Amino acid sequence: MNITKFYINGTFVNPDGSEKINIVNPATEDVVGSVISGSTNDVNNAIASANKAFPDASALTISQKKKILEEIIEEMEERREDFAQIISEEMGSPIKMARRGQYGSGVIHFKNTLSVIDKFNFQEVHDNITINKLPIGPVGMITPWNWPLNQMCTKVASAIAAGTSFVLKPSEITPGAAHIFAEVVDKTSMPKGMFNLIHGFGNTVGKSMSSHPDLEMISFTGSTRAGIDIQKSAADNIKRVSLELGGKSPNIILEDVDLENAVKMGIKQCFLNTGQSCSSPTRMLLPGNMLKEATEYAVAAANSMSIGDPLNEDIYLGPISNKTQYEKVQDLIQKGIDEGATLACGGIGRPDGLDKGFFVKPTVFTDVDNKMTIAQEEIFGPVICLIPYSNIEEAIKIANDSAYGLSSMISCSDEEKAKTIAKRIRTGQVILNRISRGDYPAPFGGFKMSGNGREHGRLGLIECLETKAIIGH
C-alpha cells in the first residue's frame, strides 16, 4: 500500500511533507509500499482541525456517540479481511492471528465501549455539589507497530465515548491499518475534524505532537525509552500524558498444578504474536525441583510451534516486524548465552529452512538468574526465561524485581492462595490459571516503568475526561 494522503478535517488531503518511508514485508524483506512522513505544518493543520471540531465533538449526545460507534463497527466488519491482510503484510502477523487477534481485538474495543457508555454517569450530584465529567480537549494519539489496530481502537473508542477530538499518528512501520480505518471513519456520521490522521517518524512528527501547546493530552503506547521522551516533551505544557509502555512480565507456577499444562500455557501466551506483546509473560518462575521437567515441556512446546510464511493458515509464529527489532532480539539471545544462561532450544540465526525474512528461532533459556540481561530487558520476540525459586516468598521477590510492572500470570490450584499472591505482585494485571483472553473491560496499564495510565473499558474512558465541580444551586 502506498499512502500518499493524510486525513484532516473530514477529508483526505495531500500532506505538506514529502519524505517517503518504505514499508517492508518482514517475511520477504521486500518493499511493499510507502508512506509520506509529515511536516510541522501537517501536525499544526491536524491539531488545528481537532481544536476547531472540539465544540461539536464535546456536544455529542450519548445516542449520537453510540451511533458513531455502531457505524464504525459495521464498517470495520465490512473491511475485516482488508485489515487482516495489511497487518499480515506490514508486520508479518500470521493470517489467522491477524484475523482473530489483531482485527478481533480492535473491533471489540468499540463493542465494549458501547456497553460502557450506557452505564457511565457523566454527572453526579452530592448535596449542593454537582460533579461533571467533561471531555478533556483535543488528544494526540501515538500507536505502535506490534498491535497496529488494537492499540489505535482502544484509544479512539474511549475518545469518542468521552466526546473529544483527536489526532492519530500510527507507527511508520505499520501505517496501513490506520489508513483503512480513516476510510471507515469517512463513512460515518462523526463530525468533521473530530478524527485526524497523520503519518511520520516518532522523533519528528511524534515529538512535535507531544510538545504542541494545543493538545490537552497525549496517549502513547510503545517503548519505555520513547515514553520518557514524550513525557519530557509534554512537560512544558502541563498536558496529561497516558503511557502504556514495556514489560517483563512474570509467570509464577506453583507446585500444586498440572505442570505440563501450566508450562505449555505459559509458552503459548509468551509466544503469541511472535512474542511481540508488551504484556508477554517472558519470565517463567518455577520451583527449583521442577525446573528440569518444566524445561522438557517448554522445549517440546516451543519446538512444536510452526514458523514460516504468515499467509499460511497453519503458521503460529511469523517474523519479527522489522530489521531493527530482529537484530535487537538476536543480540539479546547472544547476550543470554554469553552471560551463562542454559540455551535449551533455539538460539541465534534463522530457523532451519528459512533463508530470508526476520524470523527468530523459538528460544527457551533455563537456569536463568533474574539479574541477567535477558531477565531484566524486554526482548520482544519468541524468547522465554525459566527461572527457579526455592519458596513462594522468593518467587514474589523475583517477580517484583523488575523495572517493569505491566502484567503477570499465576498458576495455582488453590484459588484463594492465588489471589493472595496476586495482591503482592506489583503489576497492572494478574491473570490467574489461564491465558489472557483479551479481558477488554478490565483496565490495562502498568506500574513503574510500564507506564502511568489505563486503557480499556470504564477507566479508559475516564482517562479522556476532566472533572468539574459546580457548587451551589
Q: How confident is the model at residue 384 (pLDDT cuts 50, 70, 90)?
A: very high
Does any domain span residue 352?
yes
Contact 83, 103 (CB under 8 A): yes
- Looking at the structure, do residues 6 and 127 belong to the same domain, yes or no? yes
Cell of 56: 461539536
Using the structure block, give the residue that is written with the C-alpha cell 511481540. Answer: 276
CB atoms under 10 Å from CB of 400, counted, come to 16
The pLDDT assigned to 440 comes to: 67
Task: Tell me the average pLDDT across 163-171.
Answer: 98
Q: Stretch 254-261: mean pLDDT, rounded?
A: 96
Q: Specify whether 222 is located in the same domain as 258.
A: no
Q: Do 301 and 414 belong together in one domain?
A: yes
Residues in the chain: 473
- The answer to whether residue 164 is domain-embedded is yes
CA separation for the pair 240, 286 (Å, rounded):
40
Q: Are 180 and 324 members of one domain?
A: no
Enzyme catalytic residues: 244, 278
Q: Residues 240, 290: one domain?
A: no
Digit-coded pLDDT (tens) for 235-253: 999 999 999 999 999 999 9
What is the per-residue pLDDT across 93-137, written as a single tens digit (0 to 9) for each? 999 999 999 999 999 999 999 999 989 999 999 889 999 999 999
What is the separation, in whole angstroms, between the first and last Cα of the chain?
Answer: 58
Computed on alpha carbons and rounded to an integer, the radius of gyration of the chain in Å comes to 22
CA dist., res. 447 & res. 155, Å (int): 19
One domain for residues 343 and 403: yes
Mean pLDDT of 177-182: 98
The per-residue pLDDT for range 278-332, each reduced to its tens digit, is: 999 999 999 999 999 999 999 999 999 999 999 999 999 999 999 999 999 999 9
62: pLDDT strictly greater than 70: yes
Q: How many domains does the chain have?
A: 2
Residue 355 pLDDT: 94
Average pLDDT over residues 144-152: 97
129-135 and 465-471 beta bridge pairing? antiparallel
pLDDT at 473 over 80: no
- The pLDDT value given to residue 436: 74
Q: What is the pLDDT of residue 441?
A: 82
Question: What rounded mean pLDDT belongs to the chain?
Answer: 96
Gap between the Cα atoms of 93 and 374, Å rounded: 24
Distance CA 450, CA 473 (A): 43
In this prediction, residue 123 carries a pLDDT of 94
Shared domain check, 10 and 91: yes
Examine residue 386 and state whether it is found in any structural domain, yes or no: yes
Q: Residue 156 sits in a domain of what CATH number?
A: 3.40.605.10
392 plus 313 within the same structural domain = yes
From CA 13, how far away is CA 5, in angstroms rounded? 5
Across 71-83, average pLDDT? 98
Does 233 lie in the same domain as 333? no
Domain span at 40 = 2-245+451-471
Cell of 266: 505459559
Domain contains 445: no
Residue 162 counted as domain residue: yes
19 is a domain residue:
yes
Q: What is the pLDDT of residue 434?
A: 86
Decide if 431 contacts 453 (C-beta within 8 A).
no
Instruction: Indicate which CATH number applies to the domain containing 375.
Output: 3.40.309.10
Q: Give domain status of residue 446, yes or no.
A: no
Considering the domain architecture, whether residues 32 and 150 belong to the same structural domain is answered as yes
- The predicted-structure confidence for 387-445, as pLDDT tens digits, reads as follows 999 999 999 999 999 999 999 999 999 999 999 999 999 999 999 998 776 666 899 99
Does 359 share its domain with 466?
no
Determine the average pLDDT of the residues in 6-23: 97
pLDDT tier for residue 230 given thresholds of 50, 70 and 90: very high
Tell me, what's the pLDDT at 118? Answer: 87
Query: Are 330 and 241 found together in one domain?
Result: no
CA 380 vs CA 251, 333, 446: distances in Å = 16, 11, 17
In a domain, 284, yes or no: yes
Among 138, 352, 381, which Cα is nearest to 280's? 381
